[in-house]
Amino acid sequence: MLKLGSVGSDVAEVQSVLRRMGLDPGAADGEFGPKTQRAVREFQKMFGLTPDGVIGPLTWRILGRYLLGYDIYSVQRGDTFYEIAKKFGADPTLLQAANPGRAPENLMPGTRLNVPYSFDTVATDIPYSYDVLARNVQGLKARYPFLRVGTIGASVLGRTLYVLRMGTGERQVFYNAAHHALEWITSPVLMKFAEEYLKAYALRRQLAGYDVRAMWDECTIWIVPMVNPDGVDLVINGLSPRNPYRDRLIRWNGGSSDFSTDWEANVRGVDLNHNYNAAWRESKQAEAELGITGPGPTRYSGPYPVSEPETRAVVSFTRNHDLRLVMAYHSQGRVIYWNFQNLAPAEAKTIGQSLSRISGYTLDQATGVASYAGYKDWFIQDFRRPGYTIEVGDGKNPLPISQFPQIYGENQGMLLYAATV
Ligand SMILES: [Zn+2]
């Protein structure tokens, strides 16, 4: 139950969705104050519930649909697509897109339709936890059934490593985010991109000048939006009493149970972006010089290359697809890294220059410990194709979600361009 005085990521998610519905819960700060209470009362009135401002099971059942972004409607005799859309404030074209194979003029009573709400699904104003991601993936899949959703494996604690596929074309590209726990803001960047791309496809609209219908047939965009869900959960929601690594995590974190400002690794204290098999020994050596000898918040490359289920899943996914180009999303610095030990093909620099021009980010080569055993390093080394690390935003990790609009604006063009080049 959530009520006045409640705090946490559930409250933030509720605030975010109430705001998208046009109510005014105040800032989506995860604190259930008087403004949020008032907005909950409004919401309850809309659905004929007792307006007590408390989110109990009944209110939650209805609110939960809004968190997912769609309703399920059972067709009545005489219903038309247009009327159903009007009743829910939905776009008729998006309603049809969500229900392929249902003839608009001949709806059978009892048929169940997915009805997308009028607002976007992906939350871009709150800490992006694994639970939010899971709901957003479900919501996008229901609203845009032509989105393919799968899994590349599971994290140490068994969380799903989702993969999204958009398009059917031969040219395949792969974007991933949140190898590093503190850098969870990169996950909604890729999820928002997916939503914009799917919506443009459904509405037959251009996206930033790109013809998405044509792109759909020419390229396949693969997205793994959260490589390190256990780490992200630790940063956003704190250390759960049920976490089997609890005591070790506190020890690895220098005795502190606060993971919100320093933890980049997975739940075994391995820095996933130092765990790939590319100059892994050099990474080990550099680590020793930094005094890192075992699991910890950052930079520990693991007991051996690809020791973690998360990196294993990404490696096997990469090997099983003929990827033309990859981009690994990190924060921060507004920089694009494009090379690894001069193994990148000549075109990688040219493409990098275009990415830099489109985003306003600096094109650079990484040096020192940052230049070993990362995903793009391994990709360049083993495949000799263009691979990039994109460092979004500016400031100290975790970047505040208030930077999201700017970051998304800087990256949408790159995400489109990289799929077509
Ligand atoms: Zn990073």
Give the 3-state secondary structure of 17-57. HHHHCCCCCCCCCCECCHHHHHHHHHHHHHCCCCCCCCECH
Question: How far is the centre of ligand 1, averaged over its atoms, from the C-alpha of 320 (Å)?
Answer: 24
Question: How far is the centre of ligand 1, averaged over its atoms, from the C-alpha of 311 (Å)?
Answer: 14
Question: How far is the centre of ligand 1, averaged over its atoms, from the C-alpha of 191 (Å)?
Answer: 18
Residues 159, 47: Cα–Cα separation, whole Å: 34
Please determine, for residue 368, whether its predicted confidence score (pLDDT) is greater than 70.
no
Q: 82 or 378: whose pLDDT is higher?
A: 378
Domain 9-68 in CATH 3.30.365.10? The answer is: no
pLDDT band at 369 (very low <50, low <70, confident <90, very high): low
**CATH fold group of domain 70-116:** Membrane-bound Lytic Murein Transglycosylase D; Chain A (3.10.350)
| Residue of 117, 391, 408, 410 marked catalytic | 391
**CATH fold group of domain 130-230+307-420:** Aminopeptidase (3.40.630)
Question: How far is the centre of ligand 1, averaged over its atoms, from the C-alpha of 129 (Å)?
Answer: 17
Q: pLDDT averaged over the chain?
A: 96
Q: Which residues contact 103 (CB under 8 A, 6 or more apart)?
A: none
Question: How far is the centre of ligand 1, averaged over its atoms, from the C-alpha of 180 (Å)?
Answer: 5
Question: How far is the centre of ligand 1, averaged over its atoms, from the C-alpha of 417 (Å)?
Answer: 22
Q: Where in the chain is the domain with CATH 3.40.630.10?
A: 130-230+307-420
Residues 108, 389: Cα–Cα separation, whole Å: 50
pLDDT band at 373 (very low <50, low <70, confident <90, very high): very high
Please determine, for residue 308, whether its predicted confidence score (pLDDT) is greater than 70.
yes
Is 372 catalytic? The answer is yes
Question: How far is the centre of ligand 1, averaged over its atoms, from the C-alpha of 179 (Å)?
Answer: 6
**Closest to 23 (Cα-Cα) out of 42, 9, 46:** 42
Q: Where in the chain is the domain with CATH 1.10.101.10?
A: 9-68
What is the average per-residue pLDDT within 375-399? 98
pLDDT band at 103 (very low <50, low <70, confident <90, very high): confident
Question: What tokens were used for 72?
Answer: 């399920």
| Residues 358 and 416: beta-carbon distance below 8 Å | no
What is the average per-residue pLDDT within 239-265? 97
| Residue of 66, 73, 372, 388 marked catalytic | 372
For residue range 139-153, list pLDDT tens digits in order. 999 999 999 999 999
Q: Where in the chain is the domain with CATH 3.10.350.10?
A: 70-116
| Residues 383 and 293: beta-carbon distance below 8 Å | no
Peptide bond into 398 cis (omega under 30): yes
Would the pTM of this model clear 0.75, i.e. be above it?
yes
C-beta atoms surrounding 195 within 10 Å:
22
How far is C-alpha 92 from the chain's CA centre? 27
**Closest to 155 (Cα-Cα) out of 251, 253, 233, 223:** 233
Question: How far is the centre of ligand 1, averaged over its atoms, from the C-alpha of 111 (Å)?
Answer: 47
